[in-house]
Structure 1
Amino acid sequence: MKRLRILLLPLSLFCSASYGQESFSVELGQDGETIADMRPVFLKFESRPLPAISPAEVARRYQRLFKKADEPSVRVDALNRLANIRDRSGQDIGFTPEEETDMYRQAIDSYETILRRGGHSGPMDELLYQMAKAHALIGQNDASVKRLQQLVGQYPNSPLVAEARFRVAESAFADGRYAEAEAEYRKLVDGEGVVGDLKNKARYMLGWSLFKQGPQAWERAGQRFVTVLDEAIPSTSSLNQIPESSVDSIDDTLRILALMASRRGGAETLMGWLEPEASRPWTPLVFDRLADLYAVQNNSEASVVANRAFVSNFPKHPQRAGFMSQVVDVWSAAGRPVKARDAMADYVALFNDQAEYAGLDDGYRTKWREFSRFLADFYYTQGDDKKGSRVENYRAAATYYEGLARRSDEGGEFYRLAGDAWLQAAAYPAALKNFQVAAYELPGYDYAADAGWAAVALIRAGARGEAVSSEFNPDLADLSVETDRFVAQYGADNRAPELLAYLANRWLESGNNDLALQYAVQAVDHSKAAPETRYAGWLVTAQVHQNTAEYSLAEGAWREALALASSDSATLTMEQDAPELRQQVATAIYRQGEQAAEAGKPAIAVAHFQRVETVLPGSEVAIKGRFDAANTLLRASDWQPAINELNRFRADYPTHDLASDIGEKLVLAYTSSSQPIRAARELIDIADNQSTQSEAAGGDALTYRLRAAELFHAGEAFDQRNAVYADYLATSPIAADAEDHIRMQTMRHRLAESGTDPAQWRTKLVSAELESDWHSTQTLQWAARGSLAMGAEAAAEFGGVELSMPLDESLARKQLAMENAQTHFRNAESLGGAEVLPESVYRRAELHRIMARDLMASTAPDDLNELEQMQYTMLLEEEAYPFEERAIALHSENHQSIATSGFNVWIEKSLEVLAKLHPGRYDRALRWMSAAAQGESDGV
């Protein structure tokens, strides 16, 4: 496991020792590690420069002096000189181990001699110290300790006391007398005048002494070790300035603290020892050792707890990233992938904030990105696993990709991956945002166009209703905005033309012709548009122009599409569309004809209508074009060309539905071009072609015939007209309204005037008028004149009846004839009113006058005598007189109507008759005056 500080030894180098033996180490100047292996260094009484001869030669001379001298003080001084030479020169002075041990024994003897004599010239505390050291060097530890205790007891103020105490404590510790060692070390730690390295070592060993006494003393041991570390590493900067000689002891202190904590309460115990100021420069080191110790013991859970405890207790510490990273390492080493992923997630979350992330070292930033990428890829892969929560996995992947994107040189790719993950999770707004950032906000991203296309595809799916949520409901306008952005940035992309064509079609479907045309033109003009894309663009262009009635432009677009559909590059679908495209071209031409016709340009309209047939001969639109060409000529009153076109159309398409209207149109053309008889014959043909199977059809046929009759009448083809009238009236039609009555009366009148048997038609005319509830001035006049004519005929018949014997019989016949004539005249008066009254009155008066005349002129019977004949004549006069009087009265009545009706020929005739019948009154010259001026009375 990675160490937090490189100055510390790896755990693997000391773990085995910690369980095999609990050793310790100290260094006192140039001494050995323990009293037993101290080097034979003696007190330096003075410091002199080396002579200008070989150190080996000088040493050889002092060796010889040591061997030959008998004086203990000289021998001690010789050893001292040898030690100085070795220390100053760094060279071997030539003693073998056996010789060196022998020298130490001799030195001890010299020391003993000096002590017995009491004649030592130097300080005795130094002599005792040298003796203790010499005993230690030859393995006489008890003797060495006694001399040190003697030094402490006899010379308590000696500067060598502190080191002597340390050696005594060291000996007690080595012998397992930990309480004694504790007491001695504590004297050094608590005593005055003990400073520097020795005091630090005493603290260190005091802690060990407590530790060796068992768990009951670990609380105090922990506090002592904390003090040792506080002294050794007082500041953060001192972490990088630890002397090489102190590395092992510091590492050992950290290890033992971790060991004790692991056996008591773990991180909680550590925190107790660190209080009240838990955040020390070396705090991360001890937590790291604790976590490592658990890991080596294969206690992954405890190791993780220790790492997390540091982060929990020191949430702002700069080293918390390392501990969170170690949690991942612990779970990974333990083969716990789920736990490892959770730890990675915690690490990423802890430093997700930009400020937190910025505070990390480069290595830990790299670690953050590695964890994020691993988690993103993992959850994305898990998204397709049906066993898991698909949406949650993709959401997690998207979140990690987004975090990576903000903190990576490959931000574009991560934003695109995040967008894809959000898309899989149906979080469409987030997906769109990531795609857009990757596409448009990160210059240099190689796949930016793909990201932009993904944004377009997402909005397109939303507009189709395939990717819609409560927060994402784009419409066609949104797709247009995104398309414009994509084309502006990546216009050369091969996918752009298809997108433009698609959008053109959608706008066309929505009814926005302007936008449909805009995108269709872009699709057609795009340099990378495939034939099928250009084809789609032309289709939309054509349809837009069709919708906006720009049929000339539509024709051009349809022809472009048809050319593509007929080319070698056409797809099967395009080839199958070709017939429909021809139909569309024909329709566009036809519409141009309609426009020209509406604009009052018949010649152009006819040209367009007629050229439809060149595009799609025999088609419905071509047939309709032919038909409309003729209609256009009709509307333009170009009658003869219209007649020619109509006849040609009927000849070419006799069974077509449109041909059924040709007859009517020809009737119009013939009528308008003053060809009524041809128009009438056309109507007769129409009537002949009408089905007689239904009442409605029969009615239509009759209408056509009647219309034909009127045209025959206009063309003075009276025989043909009368034949139609006669056929119609022979069916005894009953007038349903005034119009019907007038029409039939007109027929009767015309037949009466020009047909055969006029009396019959006159009689029917008068009878129909008398029986009808409907009248018109003209029908009344016709009927009145008819009645007068019939009356005149009856009067003529009346006049032809002679009064002969027997008179009663002939008179009865004559009276009947008179009454018949009178009836006709009265009918005429009721029908014609004042207009026919003078004539009717005159004719009635004449019936009476003739009756009177004929009575008077009748022959008397032959068998009467003269008197009887005279009486008979008087009787006739009596019979004739009322008739004459009635005649005079009627003629007078006619005369009197001058005031209301004015003078006319019938009044004049009445006056002439009156002049004969009543000459005294009427047989005189008359002068008729014009009407008097206003205000004057009329006169004769």
Structure 2
Amino acid sequence: MPRNLSKFIFFPLVFSQLNATKLSLLLVCCLSGLLSGCNDQESSRQTLQSIDNTEQHKDAQQTKAIAKSENDIRDAYINYLKHASKSDLSRADALNRLAAIEFKLSEELLLNSATEEAETKLANEKLNRTIELLETSIKDYPKAKHNDVTLYQLAKAYDQQDDYEQTHEALKQLAQDYPKSIYYLEAQFRLAEYAFSAKQYPQAEDKYTEIIIAKNNAVFYEKSLYKRGWARFKQEFYIEAADDFVQVINFNDFQQYEQLTASQRSLFDEYFRAMGLSFSYLGGAEPLNLYFKQTEHVNNLYYIYSSLSDTFLKQQRYNDAVTTLNSYIDQYPDSEFSAQASLKMVDIWKQAGFIEQRKAAFEQFYADYQPSSSYWLNKKSRYKKRYEMIKLALKNHILVETATYHKKYQQGKLPADFTRAERWYKNYLSHFYAYSRQDNIHFLFASLYLQHNDENLAYKHYQLAGFDEQIITNKDAAYQAITLADNLLAAAKNPKSQAVWLSRFIEPSILYAQQYPTDKHTIRVIARASEIAYSNKRFSDTIVLAELVISDKNSKLISNINMVRAHAYFQTKQYLAAEHSYFSLVNDQELSPKDKASATEGLALAIFYQGSRAAEQKEMQLAIEHYARISLLTPKSTTAASGLFDAIALSIQSEQWLPAIDYIKRFRKLYPLHKKSNDIAKKLSVAYLNSKQNIAAAKELEKLSSRENSKAYKMASLLKAAELYQTNNDTLSAIRSLKKYIKTYPQPFTPYFEAMYTLTQLYTETNELNKGLFWHKKILAADKRTPNSAKNDQAKFIASNAAIALARHENQRFSKVKLVRPLKKNLKRKKQSMLASVNYYARASSYGVAETATEATYAIATIYNDFSQALLTSEVPKHLNNDEQEQYLFLLEDQAFPFEEKAIEFYEVNLAYTQDDIYDQWIKKSHQALQHLFPIRYQREPKVEDFINVLH
């Protein structure tokens, strides 16, 4: 049913359509100064006509004021109307113009007053004012020439107030009094609409008819024709109504429905719905067939049948709906829309829920309009879009058929359902193979065959569904294909078949793992495929598969994958990659002890072969590193000790002493009971010595001195150890080594003597005086019991130094004793110290070693001189009187003088060494002492006597 139009939504803005002569009234407002200046002087007030004479205002100097806004214009008209008389014909124009202004202002206020109550009130006031002005104009000037405009304005103002009765009356008067008005047809259309809304259908039909037959009716023709059809329909004139609806359809000359715009589709649907409704009241398809046999020209005939069918469908008259479409097909079998009508019948039965009817309708549709049918033989290109639409719909319906029978077969396992499902799958592939991937047909077809236990055909369709050359297009299908290939490989009986299925299993598995690395099935696929590939000696494929694992989780499957990958790397001599793989397995908690041991040995061997390869290529450093790494990563493997020993040997061969030392230490720590332990110890000492690690070398030598069988090696080891300790300031260790040597090896004499001498030096460094003196005495004792024939210069030098050391010690004691009371006791102590010191100095001098002889001679002289001075400065006994004290001092001088003389003589003996070109500090000091003791005689030739020998 069409909508009734209550508002003037189609009215033009007629208030701006006044005659050109009337529009000049606007200029009046521009002279508001003149109008406002009229006041009460009628004689001087200008009329509207004089204001309307625009020629008077060409000179800008004559213009006193210019209106600036519509309010100014409005005020000018109001002012004019205040003074204009009814006899002034221009007053009617002024009333209309002011009404137009007021109406416009009211519209603007209403448009902007959505939330402002005050503005809405003001708008209504202006609307009332508009109506008042227009009513006044009609009342005061009933025969005015342009009252049709005034009535049109008044109708619109009433309509704005929702006063439809007054609107109707204004339009009625306009149509009655002004049949030649430009608003006449619109007034008649509105009156027809009012009559239709009031259910006065005969009156509405008449007025619509008047518009339809009128001239210049283009604006209202189509709507009037359509509404007259409905007016006739309401009067049950269904054939006449159909005539109008057919006319309006033909008038539009609609294109294909799919090409229409949204607004055009709305009209299309409305008009055809009206046709369908009309013929539903006439009885349906038979009257429709008869009607169109008698109608010469009708556009879009199918849609009329379709609309009638839709009408029956809404009324749930399913059989009538289908019969209508069947009637169309019978009447027009070669029509462009015959297939569409047949398809619509299938949809109607489906919507109605009649399964068997839908099935039969679809079978008929498929038989008549499938892409290879005779219907499309010469129509595919002519009805290309329709063909594509029908083909798509057919495809969707076949999908429904396959799904229906497939599901029934799943539930009941009836052979008939399998046969039907298989048939429709094949039909689909026959017509729509290009869409099979899109609709997942191969996957579904494969699942049907799999449920039917036909693995070969299931594999075929899973393969088609899942793969497009080297790309997986359906993950689930690909997985199923891989699984079936595995099963069929296991079932293969001959080598040729096995080879085929092996490739069909492994290659898709690789693709699957590449494209879906994180899929839940990927790990199982890789695990199974890599195992099969390795067992069939396809090591490269094994590696490719295993390397596709990206999961960081620990699981038995991943462990197995890593194991076969490692073995495959090893088999292909990719030892570095094998190492990495085995390494990841060594700490894998998922591995059994047996597998872990296998991984450990594999890791060791992979590294060992890397070392061997590097050694063959003369890359010694790299070989050493590889050999050495084995013991770090797999210390308990059977290969580790051999690898480390090779690393040591190559390091020493390459004079890489520091690495060799590290490797030897590691070897001794890891393999202390190894059969090559002694050889390793010797290599370590050599490495230490060559790398200048003296302390470490000393320790190793010291250890070797206990383990070696050779006495000479043991002696040399101890002495070298002591030397190294001493060189590197490890005094305690040096002392320990020397003591061990002295205790163990008293022969031969010279190294024994040297060891003791070194020991005295070390005790001097440690400031252990008493221990040093002990070994000095040991030296002299050993020297005394050793025949001179066994002594060499070094032995004499050592003995001489030992005597000097002991003499110095006694000399210090001598110097500390002071000749104070009790004088006798202290004098005795001092003499004893003097004699002991002089004896040791004399012995030191007796060896004939110049370095010690000059010191000894100087020291003896100094001792005598010091003793002489000590006597002279000794404390005088208290019991002596002055004379006795004087006599006592004279006696002391007599006692002291011989010692001073001896001192001078020994100093002079030291000077004699200059004759042998010896002039050291002791000779120099001796000369200085002589200058001090005898300044007058310091240049005299010293008296040289063999005092030393005398002392001995």
Quickly name the TM-score band, shorter chain normalised.
Answer: 0.3 to 0.5
TM-score calculated relative to the size of structure 2: 0.39
Structure whose alpha-carbon radius of gyration is higher? 1
TM-score calculated relative to the size of structure 1: 0.39
